[in-house]
């Protein structure tokens, strides 16, 4: 049995993240050629950036081959994921208010969800904004 989590991200958003991290595609390209492609993340980010710039679609999948996921996907946490896939929030505190939960429990649950990629955080000044790009979760039983 395995669980397949599908995400779709706006390519523009991915490019913005690269710009924040590396500046321009040329500066990343230089870094990759200096390191002779030995740095995994930089080499992959360069390829992704290059193709997204020319209009490619971007999809992400997380595949879990064990049942650990069911310990993570508690009803309360799924409620957070569900809310974040449909709504934008400006902070963790705002999220805790709209789901009527205390801040600490909401924060702890978001961290657990982040570990398996169900939730991502975007920095905005001092605060961390939780978001989720999940479009589907599938459980597959192999015969």
Partner 1 sequence: MRVMKKKIWIHKNEMIESLVIADGSKIKFYSHTYLVKERSRGWRPCVKWDNWEGQPHVDKFDANETLIEQKPCNEKGLEEVIKLVKIFRRNLTTMDLSQL
Identify which of residues 61 and 82 has a Cβ nearer to partner 1 in the complex.
Answer: 61
Angle between the N-to-C axes of helices 11-22 and 25-34, in degrees from 0 to 180, rounded to the nearest 10: 60
Contact 133, 9 (CB under 8 A): yes
Q: Cβ of 109: how many Cβ atoms within 10 Å?
A: 23
- Minimum Å gap between C-beta 33 and partner 1 is 11
The residues, any chain, with a CB within 8 Å of residue 32's CB and separated by 6 or more, are: 39, 42, 43, 46
CB 67 → partner 1: shortest distance, Å?
A: 11
For the CB of residue 140, give the shortest distance to partner 1 in the complex, in Å. 13
Q: Which is nearer to partner 1, 74 or 102 (CB)?
A: 74
The sign of the dihedral angle between the CA atoms of 79, 85, 87, 90 is positive
Minimum distance from CB of 5 to partner 1 (Å)? 9
Residues within window 37-96 making contact with partner 1, judged by CB under 8 A: 37-38, 40, 43-44, 47-48, 51-52, 54-66, 68
Among 17, 114, 117, 131, binds partner 1 (CB under 8 A): 117
**CB 8 within 8 Å of CB 32:** no
Tell me how far CA of residue 24 lies from CA of 10, 14, 38, 74, 118, in angstroms: 19, 13, 20, 41, 29
Among positions 21-40, residues that touch partner 1 (CB under 8 A) are 37-38, 40
Question: Which residues would be at the binding site for partner 1 (CB under 8 A)?
Answer: 11, 37-38, 40, 43-44, 47-48, 51-52, 54-66, 68, 116-117
């Amino acid at each position: 049995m395995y669980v397949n989590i599908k995400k779709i991200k706006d390519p523009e958003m991915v490019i913005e993240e690269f710009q924040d991290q590396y500046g321009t595609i040329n500066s990343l390209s230089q870094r990759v050629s200096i390191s002779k492609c030995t740095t995994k993340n930089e080499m992959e980010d360069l390829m992704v950036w290059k193709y997204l710039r020319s209009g490619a679609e971007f999809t992400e999948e997380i595949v879990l081959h064990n049942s650990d996921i069911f310990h993570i996907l508690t009803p309360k946490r799924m409620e957070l994921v569900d809310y974040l896939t449909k709504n934008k929030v400006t902070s963790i505190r705002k999220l805790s208010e709209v789901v009527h939960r205390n801040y600490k429990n909401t924060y702890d649950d978001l961290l657990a969800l982040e570990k398996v990629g169900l939730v991502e955080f975007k920095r905005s000044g001092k605060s961390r904004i939780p978001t989720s790009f999940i479009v589907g979760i599938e459980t597959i039983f192999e015969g």
